[in-house]
Amino acid sequence: MKVYNVGEITRIIKSILEDNLSSLWVEGEISEYTRHKSGHHYFTLKDSESVLSCVMWRGMTNSLAFTPQPGMKVIVQGRITVFEKGGRYQLEARTIQLSGEGELMAAFERMKAKLAEEGLFAVEHKKPIPRFPWKIGLVTSPTGAAIRDLVSVANRRNPAVELFIYPARVQGDGAAEEIKRGIEAFNRWGEVDLLIVGRGGGSIEDLWCFNEEIVARAIYNSEIPVISAVGHEVDFSIADLSADLRAPTPSAAAELAVADAGELLRDLLDAKNRMLYLLESRIQRFRERIDWAKRSRAFSRPLDLLREYSQRLDEMRRRMETGETTRLERIGDRLISSRSSLNALNPLSILKRGYSIVRRQPDSKVISDAGDLAKGDKVNITFHRGAASGKIERAEANVLPL
């Protein structure tokens, strides 16, 4: 009887599996995904019946057009291997593809909904694009068509604008991380007025790094305004939504970012010509006014005009003096009339005609009725001149005055 040890059984299984399953395609949903610091990727595929452990070695990850995420439905090409020490089999992945364009769009919509809910696409967060940026940072591939288009258009429109590039991969594994680092590096440097992030055209898989969450957040957190220029006009990415401005192509981004020096010069010349026209028109109007003034009487016969104004002044003075005299006379007449009225009301004037004022003592009440006096009351009598005092001997209230 042949007795096998554990290692021998594992090696036999390894040989059978690896010889017979050396190349196959497996479709499933990613349930776990870990990118180890060594660069190797470990993940799990699952369906309704089972799960399968998978690994993608660092040297194979360059073929990735996107960053796999849990929940994505993918097709993995590779071979079955056995990890002897653990005694378990796994799928050694060579390529990973999203399961059809529908899955790509589903992943796109999931990410779009998630970031929109967090406010990364909100209009109020968009920063204004500077009108005349003199230093522009480019985060793109240094060898792609996009950089050639950007540089060509920018130099044609305004050679004085300085361009600075942060070389980044724009496709495959690690591209999203490099784009993120480029945006952050420009923000730390702080010497550019504007950023352009993008690449030329390609398939949806080629452009997928611009749909990555880390790129969208880096653009959102950038203190420098960002123009997104990804692919062709029909292409649309998450980066376009989070950027401050979306350009349909890299060339269009340069058109939007760099003001046309020739157009600016033409505008300046037009403004100069308008200012000269307005200035000359104003000068002409002043000349006409000066000519009119020179022909006027004030300049032709100044002494006559002075004498006329002097005569008008004398007439005004005479009218003022006449009016003042009349006003003073009216006031004097009113004073005389008021004095006469006051004299008529003055009780001393009445006393002068022989009347007197009797006041009972000690309360000094003025007596106008004899009935208010009794025999023995003391009184003071005021005359027009002088006064007297006495005592009442008799008082008759019914005696009528003369």
The CATH H-level superfamily of 6-98 is: Nucleic acid-binding proteins (2.40.50.140)
pLDDT bucket at 402, cuts 50 / 70 / 90: very low
Give 256-292 pLDDT, tens digit per residue.
999 988 887 888 888 888 998 898 889 889 888 888 8
pLDDT for residue 85? 78
Q: What is the mean pLDDT of residues 357-362?
A: 81
pLDDT digits (tens, 9 = 90+) for 26-58: 988 888 888 888 889 999 998 888 889 999 988
Q: Helices (H), strands (E): how many in the chain? A: 11, 14
Q: Out of 49-63, 69-83, 167-181, 353-367, which region has the weakest mean confidence (pLDDT)?
A: 353-367
Segment 102-146, tens digit of pLDDT: 667 777 888 889 999 999 999 999 999 999 999 999 999 999 889
Tell whether the torsion through CA atoms of 264, 270, 276 and 279 is positive or negative: negative
Predicted pLDDT at 344: 67
What does the pLDDT look like over 180-211, one tens digit per residue?
999 999 999 999 999 999 998 887 778 889 99
Q: Under 8 Å CB-to-CB from 33, ≥6 apart: which residues?
A: 41, 42, 43, 44, 68, 69, 70
| Extents of the domains making up the chain | 6-98, 133-259, 262-295, 351-391
What is the pTM for the complete model shown?
0.54
Residue 401 above 60 pLDDT? Answer: no
Q: In CATH, what class is 133-259?
A: alpha beta
The residues, ordered by sequence, that sit 6+ positions from 187 with a Cβ below 8 Å of its Cβ are: 222, 223, 224
pLDDT value, residue 99: 75
Phi and psi of 17, rounded to 5°? -70, -50
Torsion of CA 290, 293, 298, 301, to 10 degrees: 90
Distance CA 77, CA 75 (A): 7
Task: Quote the pLDDT of residue 18.
Answer: 72
Report the DSSP pairing between strands 41-46 and 51-56.
antiparallel
For residue 225, give every residue at least 6 positions away whose Cβ sits within 8 Å of its Cβ, in sequence order, or none.
127, 128, 129, 130, 193, 194, 195, 244, 245
**pLDDT band at residue 365 under the 50/70/90 scheme:** confident
Q: What is the pLDDT of residue 134?
A: 94
φ, ψ (nearest 5 deg) of residue 122:
-60, 135
Q: How confident is the model at residue 30, as a pLDDT? A: 86
pLDDT the model gives residue 192: 96
- Give every strand in the sheet of 378-382, ordered side by side: 365-366, 357-360, 378-382, 387-391
Q: Burial level of 218, CB count in 10 A (0-12/13-18/19+)?
A: buried
pLDDT digits (tens, 9 = 90+) for 63-105: 777 778 787 888 899 998 888 877 888 899 998 887 765 667 7
CA pair distance 239, 212, nearest whole angstrom: 8
